[in-house]
Amino acid sequence: MASRFQTLFKRTGTPLLVREFGETITYHPGDGSSDREISALIERDGPQLLNEMGVAVFEAIIRVKDSVTEGISATEIDTGSDEVSFQLRVGESAKRKAIMVVLSTVNGFVRFGVK
Amino acid sequence: MSNSIAEQIVLEVVSRLEQMTIANSYAFDVADVSRVQRDGSQWTPKNYSVAVKEVTDSRIPELDHEGNPPAVAWQLVLEIGGFIRLADRTGTTQQTKLNNFAASIRKAITNSATWMEFGSLAVDADFGETQLTESDTGEYSLAIVPLLVVYRVDETDPFTARQ
Summarised one tens digit per residue, pLDDT across range B46-99 is 899 999 999 999 999 999 999 899 999 999 999 999 999 988 777 788 889 999
Q: Which B residues in the span 71-130 are in contact with A, Cβ-Cβ below 8 Å? A: 79, 81, 85-88, 90
Question: How high is the pLDDT of residue A55?
Answer: 78
Q: Residue A101 sits in which domain range?
A: 4-114
Alpha-carbon distance A83 to nearest alpha carbon in chain B (angstroms): 9
Q: What is the pTM of this model?
A: 0.86
Question: How high is the pLDDT of residue B1?
Answer: 67
Q: Give the Å distances, CA to CA, from A42 to A27, A35, A46, A105.
A: 14, 19, 11, 16
Asked whether the beta carbons of residue B51 and residue A55 sit closer than 8 angstroms, the reply is: yes
Of the candidates A41, A23, A37, the residue with the CA atom closest to the CA atom of residue A108: A41
**Phi, psi at B112, each rounded to 5°:** -160, 175
Question: How high is the pLDDT of residue A80?
Answer: 87
Q: What three-state secondary structure class fits B10? A: helix
Confidence grade of residue B146 (pLDDT, cut at 50, 70, 90): very high
Number of domains in chain A: 1
Pick the CATH number of B5-162 from 3.20.20.70, 3.90.1170.40, 3.30.2000.30, 3.40.30.10: 3.30.2000.30
Question: How high is the pLDDT of residue B81?
Answer: 95
Question: How high is the pLDDT of residue B39?
Answer: 78
* Chosen from A52, A61, A78 to mutate, greatest number of chain B CBs within 10 A: A52
B38 inside 8 A of chain A by CB: yes
Q: How far apart are CA A32 and CA A39, in angstroms?
A: 21
Ranges of chain A with pLDDT below 70: none
Please compute the mean of the pLDDT values over residues B2-22 and round it to a whole number.
96
Kindly give the pairing relationship between strand B124-127 and strand A109-114.
unpaired
How does pLDDT run across B110-132, given as a tens digit for each residue?
A: 999 999 999 999 999 999 999 99
Question: How high is the pLDDT of residue B120?
Answer: 94
Compute the mean pLDDT over every residue in chain B, rounded to the nearest whole number: 93
A51 close to A67: Cβ distance less than 8 angstroms: no
User: How deeply is A13 buried, as exposed, middle or buried, from its count of CB atoms within 10 A (0-12, 13-18, 19+)?
Assistant: middle
Q: What is the rounded (10 degree) CA torsion for A58, A64, A66, A67?
A: -110
Of the candidates B149, B156, B128, the residue with the CA atom closest to the CA atom of residue B74: B149
Confidence grade of residue B21 (pLDDT, cut at 50, 70, 90): very high
* Chosen from A31, A44, A51 to mutate, greatest number of chain B CBs within 10 A: A51
Q: Which residue of A has its CA nearest to B135?
A: A52
Q: Give the Å distances, CA to CA, from A46 to A43, A84, A88, B27.
A: 8, 17, 11, 36
Question: How high is the pLDDT of residue A32?
Answer: 86
Of the candidates A52, A82, A48, the residue with the CA atom closest to the CA atom of residue B87: A82
Asked whether the beta carbons of residue A55 and residue B43 sit closer than 8 angstroms, the reply is: yes
User: How deeply is A23 buried, as exposed, middle or buried, from its count of CB atoms within 10 A (0-12, 13-18, 19+)?
Assistant: middle
- What percentage of chain B carries pLDDT values higher than 90? 77
Q: Which residues pair with B81 in a beta bridge?
A: B51, B144
B38 close to B30: Cβ distance less than 8 angstroms: no
Alpha-carbon distance B86 to nearest alpha carbon in chain A (angstroms): 5
Name the region of B152 (left: φ>0; alpha: ψ -120 to 50; beta: rest). Answer: beta
Ranges of each domain in chain B? 5-162
Q: Give the Å distances, CA to CA, from B107 to B70, B122, B127.
A: 34, 18, 11
